[in-house]
Amino acid sequence: MPRKPKKKLTPEQRRARKRRRQETMIVFINGKQKRVPRPRADDDDFLRHADPITLHQLKRWDLLELDASSSSLPNSALRKVENDDDDFDLPF
């Protein structure tokens, strides 16, 4: 059975789609995609307290900081990474 060709959007529908994309962003909440309002560019308070995933989604890598308190690695592993000399200690 042949497929029906897709209908083209009207200019008004294209403008509405473009505006909607600029004003909102899609995030995953409980495993489902949800459209939420995009944070304003001047909303520094939001960005200061944002988690790393949100900063990555907003492409604000300049605000990401890697420090011992935000890492999921244990402290011993962090010290090992920081003091990684050219010694090859095998774990077995």
Q: Is residue 54 part of a domain?
A: yes
Q: Report yes or no on 43 lying in a domain.
A: yes
Residue 6 domain-assigned (yes or no)? no
Residue 89 covered by a domain: no
CA proximity to 25, closest of 6, 48, 7, 50: 50
Q: What is the pTM of this model?
A: 0.39
pLDDT at residue 53 in the model: 84
Domain range for residue 65? 18-82
Q: Does any domain span residue 36?
A: yes
C-alpha 18: how far from chain center: 21
Evaluate whether 64 touches 50 at the Cβ level (below 8 Å). Answer: no
| Residue 55 counted as domain residue | yes
Per-residue confidence in pLDDT tens, the chain, 92 aa: 889 999 999 999 999 999 999 999 999 989 999 999 987 766 666 777 778 888 888 887 777 775 545 555 455 444 544 555 555 666 65
pLDDT at position 5 = 93
- Distance (Å, whole) CA 1 – CA 25: 37
Please report whether residue 5 resides in a domain: no
In a domain? residue 13: no
What's the total number of domains in the chain? 1
What are the CA-CA distances from residue 16 to residues 12, 23, 78 (Å)? 6, 11, 48
pLDDT value, residue 64: 77
First vs last Cα of the chain: how many Å apart? 62
Residue 25 CA to residue 46 CA, distance in Å, equals: 15
